[in-house]
Amino acid sequence: MKRDFIDIQEFTADELKTLIYLIEIVKKASKERALPDLLYKASLAMIFEEPSTRTRTSFEVAMTELGGHAIYMKPGEIHLGARETIGDTAQVLSRMCDGIEARLLKHKNILELVKYATVPVISGLTDYQHPTQSLCDIFTMYENARKIKGLNLTFIGDSTENFNSLLFISSKLGLNFYMASPKKYQPKESILNEALKNAKESGSEIVITEDPKEAVLQADFVYTDLWYWIGQEDEEEERRAAFMPKYQVNEKLMKLAPLHAKFMHCLPASRNTEVTDNVIDSEQSIVFDEAENRLYTEEALLIAFIGRTLKPWEKDKENIYYKEINKIMGKLS
């Protein structure tokens, strides 16, 4: 398996499913406060070029629960690409830390970080993908439906970086993916073509439409994301006009989906913009389960990518989950 976790496309369907099963075991262990200290005395450098709630909190808490330590490097606090090359930063952090998590504005910069780092790098978001979020999302669907292949996922909104990784992982794992969006905000041809190649192998169906009503008719899960984000402030008025009210996920739209359909959002949400209060706060909503699952996803990723580079702490060999986690780790080597 790859050393770094920055691109869903670099992993096979079997590897991604194994990571999902690892999250399930890690969540159970974490809930029982029985998670072994598999990252005992390990350190994680966390580089952020953007503010973060869920990504920062989940990685920092995960490192603590695994017996390690996380170092938060806030926007503008280190010389990443300014007064010091990204390569030099990568080499310095690799000498002092056991892994690097990075939320960077440009995907090309995380590729540069990976090129020079000698420790695992995990992406916390770039302008290309948000792989930790999409892995968490699929786990949350699996947790609710107890299956992955054949699920129907409907995405309403803009083709964000989160959309890209969600489309890739869904098409690799055999979920049927429906997107409803104005033509201008539908995925780039290069992104769609990659996903269609995945779908050809997995048997999933990908449908891109401008009609949200059509897109939700068979949905097991209805997903939306922000219509505008950092760097798109000057487009806010144009984007609101393009999406509102047709693409807002509201009670009326959710009533067109099957009764069992669940609502998802990666958060933060602009309430009563892309989703109304009466949907995000409804019994159909699993957004806060989804947010909580970021913690267990990061714990699993830290074990899978950094933990396998470390010698286990001897006392954990007696832990009830140690053998179970190690068994799954054997499939990822």
Strand order in the sheet with 43-48: 69-73, 43-48, 99-103, 121-125
Active-site positions?
103, 130, 133, 225, 266, 294
Sheet strands (E) in 235-313: 262-265
Q: What is the three-class DSSP state of 262?
A: strand
Residues 6+ apart with CB under 8 A from 304: 1, 5, 19, 22, 329, 332
Q: What is the DSSP string of 161-201?
A: HHHHHHHHHHHHHT-EEEEE--GGGSPPHHHHHHHHHHHHH
Please give the radius of gyration of the chain, using alpha carbons only, rounded to the nearest integer. 20
Q: What are phi and psi of 195, to 5 degrees?
A: -65, -40
The angle, 0 to 180 degrees and rounded to 10, between the axes of the packed helices 131-145 and 13-31 is 70
Of 258, 285, 257, nearest to 271 by C-alpha is 285
Residues 6+ apart with CB under 8 A from 175: 138, 141, 148, 149, 150, 151, 152, 153, 204
Residues 6+ apart with CB under 8 A from 272: none
Query: Do 187 and 120 contact (CB within 8 A), yes or no?
Result: no
DSSP code of residue 247: T
